[in-house]
Amino acid sequence: MKFAVFETEQWEHDACLRLSPAYEVSCVRDTLDEASARLHAKADIISSFVYSQLDASVLAHFAQLRLIATRSTGYDHIDLGYCQSRGIIVCNVPGYGDTSVAEHVFALLLGLARKIADAAERTRRGRFDQAGLRGFELKGRTIAVIGAGRIGMRVIEIARGFSMDVIAVDERHDDQAAQRLGFRYASLDGALGQADIITLHVPATPETRRLISEREFALMKPGAVLINTARGSVVDAEALVRALAGGRLAGAGLDVMAQEAQLRDEAQIFRAGAGTNADLRAFAANHALLGFANVLVTPHNAYNTTEALARIIDTTLANIEAFARGAPQNVVVAP
């Protein structure tokens, strides 16, 4: 069987060779697009990360495709309807980055609370004054964890270690965990009105698109801080710009943005069918966010630890081996 892996580094290539000789493995550094799909059109199995857009126009080039093993928990970059209609199984990697992402939440939060980026840049220039660098403690602050799944629960554990008051928002309540860790559940509106810090841990779905928008920013306490390590589409970028510019928010820590691909390569906004005026407005809003002194942006890096990456590749290869045995695991879509 032919296995094509996209968005790879050398160590991932070496790891994937563990499947040889049962599989003919091809590793590609670039993202999967129509051009690279044509070059690997005979693949039975493909794997990519989230920067490849696996829509119908790309997937149609793979006439004998049987399995997509995405190296991510999220799968909003894959056209699931197309896969289901063509009998293509889609597997993901659940739970690889719980600790990595949760710790990154607090890296962003502490960076904002103690103005780390400004302080470090100031001393790099030889300035050692403290003017404008006064921060705030996390102890005693209220943090709202929107989405109390695996990552959200790890965030709660860390927050309690900082002696923070924790409110969780989730459709499902784990009352035993709430009692053990010492947090309480509330509605989204109720949590937004009480929280000093809001951190987002929901998947990208039609229901969560722009979950945090104009109305939600208006409900937040003045001076609140927003952290987003979930997906860019969960936050209305234009509304976030207005909330920051108007002083409603004290700051934001963002590891994800809705137009990440365009921000990585701005030439993409000029390609054919690049999007509507609304898409370009959102791109402009994301670009504006990069200029706010009270906004920390990292390049979708929350998952990027040695431990998490090892779990990603190990689970991906295990997913492929399970598929070969006729017992697929971590299945998102099945025929």
Strand partners, 209: none
User: Per the residue annotation, which of 24, 157, 260, 321 is the catalytic one?
Assistant: 260
The residue type of 52 is S
User: Per the residue annotation, which of 231, 281, 307, 311 is the catalytic one?
Assistant: 231
| 220 three-state secondary structure | coil
Active-site residue 260, yes or no?
yes
Residue 29 CB coordination number (10 Å): 12
Nearest to 283 by CA among 312, 257, 316: 257
Residue 20: left if φ>0, alpha if ψ -120 to 50, beta else—which one? beta
Q: How far apart are CA 7 and CA 49, in angstroms?
A: 6
Q: What are phi and psi of 15, to 5 degrees?
A: -65, -40
Place of tokens 């390049």: 299
Q: What does 113-138 look like in DSSP terms, one character per residue?
A: HTTHHHHHHHHHTT----TT------
Active-site residue 18, yes or no?
no
Residue 54 CB coordination number (10 Å): 27
Residue 65 CB coordination number (10 Å): 23
DSSP structural state of residue 282 = H
Q: Is 304 exposed, middle or buried (0-12, 13-18, 19+ CB in 10 A)?
A: middle
Nearest to 25 by CA among 320, 290, 325: 320
| 151 three-state secondary structure | helix
Instruction: Identify the helix (H) or strand (E) that includes residue 292.
Output: none
User: Per the residue annotation, which of 40, 61, 141, 300 is the catalytic one?
Assistant: 300
Catalytic amino acids? 231, 260, 300
